[in-house]
């Protein structure tokens, strides 16, 4: 069964303390991997798409990387406004374009 697992479930960091969030996936065929940010009570906000192993994308303090089995979201020198839930999602195979999500990592940056 196609599955997306994110770790840790929650992470508390001091402002400026860099870290990484993990997304591991077991799918029949990966079409694309997506990272989203979600603030409380709002819909997910798109951050990145990764298509193939070795690919990297950057946006401000965030960098997403992809291997054959997992993706990392690296956050460098985070600020309190980076506090949110970060969701990983995969689009499975070429014929079935369903997008499935992990449970997310709740990130809290302390000032």
Partner 1 sequence: DTGVSQNPRHKITKRGQNVTFRCDPISEHNRLYWYRQTLGQGPEFLTYFQNEAQLEKSRLLSDRFSAERPKGSFSTLEIQRTEQGDSAMYLCASSRKQGAGNTEAFFGQGTRLTVV
Residues lying near partner 1 in the complex (CB under 8 A): 4, 6, 31-32, 34, 36, 41-46, 49, 87, 89, 91, 94, 96-104
Q: What are the beta bridge partners of residue 4?
A: 25
Closest C-alpha to 86, from 56, 62, 53: 62
Q: Which two tokens stand for residue 41?
A: 């009570």
Of the pair 17, 24, the CB lying nearest partner 1 is at: 24
CB 53 → partner 1: shortest distance, Å? 17
Of the pair 17, 83, the CB lying nearest partner 1 is at: 83
Of the pair 78, 102, the CB lying nearest partner 1 is at: 102
CA distance 110 to 12: 7
CB 96 → partner 1: shortest distance, Å? 7
CA distance 27 to 40: 29
């Amino acid at each position: 069964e196609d599955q997306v697992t994110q770790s840790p479930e929650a992470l508390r960091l001091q402002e400026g303390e860099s870290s990484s969030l993990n997304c591991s996936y077991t799918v029949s065929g990966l079409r694309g991997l997506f990272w989203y940010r979600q603030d409380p009570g709002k819909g997910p906000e798109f951050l990145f798409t990764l298509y193939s192993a070795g690919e990297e994308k950057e946006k401000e303090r965030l960098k997403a990387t992809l291997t054959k089995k997992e993706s990392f979201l690296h956050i460098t020198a985070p600020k309190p406004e980076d506090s949110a839930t970060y969701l990983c999602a995969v689009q499975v195979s070429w014929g079935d374009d369903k997008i499935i999500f992990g449970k997310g990592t709740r990130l809290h940056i302390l000032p």
